[in-house]
Structure 1
Amino acid sequence: IDTCGVTTLYTECDGHQLRGPNDIVFDTNGGFWFTDLGKSRSRDSDNGGLYYALADGSSLVCAAYGLTKPNGVGLSPDGSTLYVAETSVGRVWKWDIVSPGVVERGTTPLAHGTLLYGFDGYQLLDSLAVDGDGNVCVATLVTGAISVISPEGELLDQVHVPKWDAYVTNVCFGGPDLMRAYVTSSGWGLLYEMPWERPGLRLNYQ
Structure 2
Amino acid sequence: MDIIAEGLAFPEGPVVFADGSVIVVELAGGRITRCWNGRTEIVCDIGGGPNGAAIGPDGALYVCNSGGLDLKKFQNARGDGHEGRIERVDLATGKFERLYDSCDDIALEAPNDIVFDAEGRMWFTDLGKTHDGIRTASGLFSALPDGSAISAINRHAVSYNGVGLSPDGAFVYVADTHQARLYRYDRKVEEQRPNWVATAPGPVGFDSLAVTAAGNICIGTLYDGGITTITPDGIVSKFSIEEEVYVTNIAFGGKDTRDAYITLSQSGRLVKTGWDEPGLRLSFNG
Corresponding position: 1:13 with 2:13:
no
- Aligned counterparts, 1:6-155, within 5 A: 6-98=96-188, 102=190, 105=192, 112-155=193-236
CA deviations 1:23-77 (Å, max 9, x no partner) are: 0000111210000111102222101010000000000000111111110000000
Structure 1: unaligned runs, 5 residues or longer? 106-111
Instruction: Say what the alpha-carbon RMSD is for the aligned residues.
Output: 1.2
Please give the alpha-carbon distance, in whole angstroms, between the structure 1 residues aligned to 2:259 and 2:118.
24
Unaligned runs of 5+ in 2: 1-89
Shift of 1:149: 0.4
The alignment status of 1:190 with 2:269, answered yes or no, reads yes
Task: Show the counterpart of 1:160.
Answer: 240
> How far off its partner does 1:176 sit?
2.1
Number of residue pairs matched by the alignment? 195
Q: TM-score, normalised by structure 2?
A: 0.66
Percent identity over the alignment?
Answer: 41
How big is each residue's C-alpha offset from its partner over 1:103-127, in whole Å with a ceiling of 9 and x where there is no partner? 6x3xxxxxx2111111223110100
| TM-score, length of structure 1 as denominator length | 0.91
**What letter matches 2:157 in structure 1?**
L
Q: Aligned equivalents of 2:175 and 2:232: distance in 1?
A: 14
1:87 deviates by 0.6
- The whole-number CA distance in structure 2 between the counterparts of 1:145 and 1:79 is 26
Q: CA deviation at 1:7?
A: 1.5
Q: Which has the higher contact order (CA 8 A, sep 6+)?
A: 2
Inter-partner Cα distance in structure 2 for 1:188 and 1:7 = 30
Q: Distance in 1 between matches of 2:269 and 2:94?
A: 27
